[in-house]
């Protein structure tokens, strides 16, 4: 990724924050994308929202950068974390509608991406993109050694 791409994507994050500070939060990013002006595009009803990790993945995908080889991620990887997210979502008005809770509950067991997996994968040379699950998890564990944040930490196997 060229330095100009990085600056553009950083600027786009600022535009998204200004134009759409209430990006939907949820477990299913399908059907959600960003427009070049920083507005959000909800393509279909299937998308319930974005987590921290899928926000970055969606942003990168919109501009042709595929960081992760998502099909290599296991399904049913961490249903406990997904259930915790739904409990947290219930505390976020106005997004905590009953319909939103049901939509997200139906997503439990989908592929789930941790922030440290995204950070770890981004450390790879772009020629290695998209990064497979095993490699991203390995790099995520390295990222964990540099942070004590529970938000980033993936469960120990």
CA dihedral of 13, 19, 23, 29, whole degrees rounded to 10: -60
Q: How many domains does the chain have?
A: 1
* 152 found inside a domain: no
* The pLDDT of residue 155: 54
DSSP string covering the chain = --HHHHHHHHHHHHHHHHH-TTPPBSS--TTEEE-TTS-EEE--TT---B-HHHHHHHHHHHTT---B-GGGSPTTS-HHHHHHHHHHHTTSTTT--HHHHHHHHTTTTS----HHHHHHHHTS-GGGPSBPHHHHHHHHHHHHTT---TTTPPPP-
96 part of a folded domain? yes
Structural domain contains residue 27: yes
Predicted pLDDT at 148? 65
Tokens read off for 50: 């974005």
Range of the domain at 30: 3-144
- Predicted pLDDT of residue 45: 63
Q: Is residue 121 part of a domain?
A: yes
Rounded CA separation 22/94 (Å): 9
* Domain assignment of residue 149, yes or no: no
Report yes or no: 50 and 29 within 8 Å, Cβ to Cβ.
Answer: yes
Residue 64 structure tokens: 């042709």
Residue 92: inside a domain: yes
Residue 157: predicted pLDDT: 46
How much is the pLDDT for 74? Answer: 92
Residue 150, domain member (yes or no): no
State the helix-helix crossing angle for 3-19 and 52-62, rounded to 10 degrees.
120
Preceding omega of 149 cis (within 30 degrees of 0): no
**Does residue 74 lie in a domain region?**
yes
CA 87 to chain CA centroid, nearest Å: 18
**10-residue averages of pLDDT along the chain (157 residues):** 80 88 87 86 76 94 92 88 88 77 90 94 93 96 79 51
């Amino acid at each position: 990724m060229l330095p100009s791409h990085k600056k553009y994507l950083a600027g786009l994050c600022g535009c998204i924050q200004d134009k759409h500070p209430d990006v939907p939060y949820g477990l299913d990013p399908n059907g959600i994308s960003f427009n070049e002006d920083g507005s959000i595009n909800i393509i279909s009803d299937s998308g319930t929202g974005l987590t921290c990790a899928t926000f970055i993945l969606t942003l990168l995908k919109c501009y042709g950068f595929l960081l992760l080889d998502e099909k290599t991620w296991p399904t049913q990887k961490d249903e406990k974390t997904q259930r915790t997210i739904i409990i947290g979502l219930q505390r976020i008005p106005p997004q905590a509608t009953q319909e939103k809770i049901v939509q997200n509950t139906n997503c439990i067991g989908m592929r789930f991406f941790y922030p440290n997996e995204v950070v770890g994968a981004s450390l790879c040379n772009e020629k290695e993109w998209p990064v497979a699950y095993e490699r991203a998890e390995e790099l995520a564990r390295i990222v964990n050694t540099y942070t004590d944040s529970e938000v980033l930490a993936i469960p120990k196997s």
